[in-house]
Structure formats: structure tokens, C-alpha cells
Amino acid sequence: MPVLTAIGLMSGTSLDGIDAALLRSDGEAMLEVGPALTLPYEPAFRQRLRAILGAPAGADIAGVEREMTLLHAQAVARLLAEAEIAADQIDLIGFHGHTILHQPAQGRPGEGRTWQIGDGALLARETGIAVVTDFRSADVAAGGEGAPLVPVFHAALTTEIPRPVAILNLGGVGNVTWIGPEGGLLAFDTGPGNALLDDWVQRHSDQLYDESGRLARAGTPDMVRIDTVLEGPYFARRPPKSLDRDDFSADLAEGLGPEDGAATLTALTIACVVKSAAWFPEPAALWVVTGGGRHNTLMMEGLAAGLGVPIRSMEDIGWDGDAVEAQAFAYLAIRQQAGLPISFPGTTGVLQPMTGGILHQPA
């Protein structure tokens, strides 16, 4: 497979903005990592995007999709300008879009649904670059979970790290990749990540998130509520398994004060991760954390105490934790062009390794 240069674009469940990153790969080895940036969403657009989650009847999905796609085009233009690279030097864009609905039906082909808004054809026209989008639908149609898709990239990132190792992404939803000594993969969503805590903080303050866990440190977690959540059916299901952002709600902390609510939702995220480790074929000797949650010192302290093994941020092993998911979709776009699989039985529950994605050429 020839080496390709790709830009990856990710709009995650935290609703904070668009991550854009540049890399070069042949679809297997990581050959060069370029610059990355984040284009934050304006508060008004974030509200419009939040309003269409779940695809409610009457929502202006098409309007939000177009607006979001044009914002992604801006992110590409800004990245190219900062990197001083012309568009004709880029082979592909991996465009995840934004998930507004995720209802897989594992083991029941044709019954699941997943919907990532984002107009790949429009983005290709706006940028003049070929775009790969719709990475999840083929896996869900084949009876897979459609998520997580990043594990194969995690494996490429960690070839020099002793295994077994766990890569934990604390975005809006938490997900973990376990990589075994021989390269075997197991991946699944652990439970709520930052989404519930962010929603709670925004409801009770003028902040977007609990910086360094300061609000939660001032409170006491309600362990009865946490235990009740952990007794739910999702946590008894064997992985692979996945969640939608709104499968859980910050309302589970309703009636608590701002500090105790933040403490409860922080402790819930930690407890979900600790519980997830029981599914690993053998314990991970090291956990590497990416996503916004790695900046929450209270959460990182709680993970270290609960897991009882070293916890490191992605930066500690030489990678940019803010760019990893965008880099992953650049890598997955290259794999799509190479005809290589992006999902596996151990990561999404699909029956056999599958490629995915749809290519849009610029007009």
C-alpha cells in the first residue's frame, strides 16, 4: 500500500468542537504525525447541535448538518494554513461527522441504526480533497456495535509499549481498548465519561466543565446512586458493547447540591472504568488515558486508586491526547483506501474483520 497523507476530523460526544490532525501512513505503520488543532464550537451552535441529538421529530437536522460540515471545512483550511501545506498535497480527509443517534443491535444484522451527520460530498467540494465518511454504518448493518473504531489505531500507537496495556478514552462516553501480549484487541464503552459531569456543571455554573475536578473535590459522592447505576443491565453485558451519549443522564444526580452532584458523577465515571477491567482476558500492567478526562486531576487520582496500577496520560508516552481521535480517523481513512479492516470481532462484536466508510471525490 502506498503511503498517504491524510487529515482526520473528529466532533466528539463532548460537543466542544472539531479536532483536526494530519498524519502519514500506509494503513499499518505510523510514519509521520503532523500538526493538529481544535476549532471550538460557538455556544449557539453547540446548543443547536445538542438539540438534534437523538434525531427528534421536527429537528432541523439538515440545517445543522450543513453548518457543521462548513465548520469542518474551516478547520481543514486553518490546519493547512498553520502547517503551510497546500490542499493538493493531501490525499484524503477522514471525516467522522457527529453522532446524533446510535442504536446498534449486536448479532442482529440489519436491525441496528447509527447516524453520524456530516455531508462528505459538500466537504470534498469545499476543500478540493477526497473525503471518507460514514465509518460506522457497515459494521452496524452487519450486526456489530459500530463502536469503538479507534482500537486498531491504538494498537499502531503502542507498538513499543509492553503489553497487555489499556488505552482509556475519557470523552463524553468512556471507552477502553485492551491490547494483549500478541496484539489481540478487546474494546468497549465503559460507561459515562465526561458528558454527564459537563452537563451538570453547565447546569449549575457558567463553566463548561469541572476544571481539575475542583467542584467535585468540594463535594461527597452519593455511593448509593452510583451502585444503583452499576447494577444496570449494560454493566452485566459481555463486551464488545457500546453506548449512546444520552443512554445515561445527569438527572441521576438530581436533588444533590452542585458539589455533591459533581462528586457523584465523577465517582461514577471512575467506578465504571474500574468495573470494566474485570472483562479483560488478563490485567493491564499500564493504563494510558486520552480524551478530556485526563485533565481532571481528581478523576486521574481516582482511577489510579481504583485500578491499582500505573496511570499515564497520552502525553506521557509521547503522543498528543487532544489529537488522538482525529489522528485515528485520518488513519482509518487510509485503511479504508487500502481495503484493510477497521472493525474486528473483539472491538465491535462483528462476525469478521470489516472495512468501512464511503469515499467522496471533489467535484
Domain residues for the domain of 108 are 4-146+323-360
Q: Amino acid identity of 347?
A: T
Same domain? 127 vs 265: no
Same domain? 100 vs 160: no
Quick check: 123 and 97 in contact, CB under 8 A? no
Predicted local distance difference test score (pLDDT) of residue 14: 82
Same domain? 164 vs 289: yes
Please give the torsion angle defined by the CA atoms of residues 319, 350, 185 and 342, in that order, rounded to the nearest 10 degrees.
-30
Same domain? 210 vs 160: yes
Predicted local distance difference test score (pLDDT) of residue 107: 79
Same domain? 181 vs 254: yes
Same domain? 156 vs 294: yes
Same domain? 248 vs 292: yes
> CA-to-CA distance for 215 and 251, rounded, in angstroms?
17
Quick check: 129 and 362 in contact, CB under 8 A? yes
Residues 6+ apart with CB under 8 A from 307: 273, 274, 277, 287
Predicted local distance difference test score (pLDDT) of residue 128: 98
The total domain count for the chain is 2
Same domain? 113 vs 198: no
Ranges in the chain, pLDDT < 50: none
CATH of the domain at 218: 3.30.420.40
State pLDDT tens for residues 153-187. Answer: 999 999 989 999 999 999 889 999 999 999 999 99
Same domain? 334 vs 289: no
> CA-to-CA distance for 242 and 191, rounded, in angstroms?
9
State pLDDT tens for residues 272-316. Answer: 999 999 999 999 999 999 999 999 999 999 999 999 999 999 999
Stated pTM of the model: 0.92
Residue identified by cell 465503559 is 190
Same domain? 113 vs 67: yes
> CA-to-CA distance for 276 and 304, rounded, in angstroms?
14
Same domain? 155 vs 132: no
Same domain? 311 vs 330: no
Quick check: 359 and 51 in contact, CB under 8 A? no
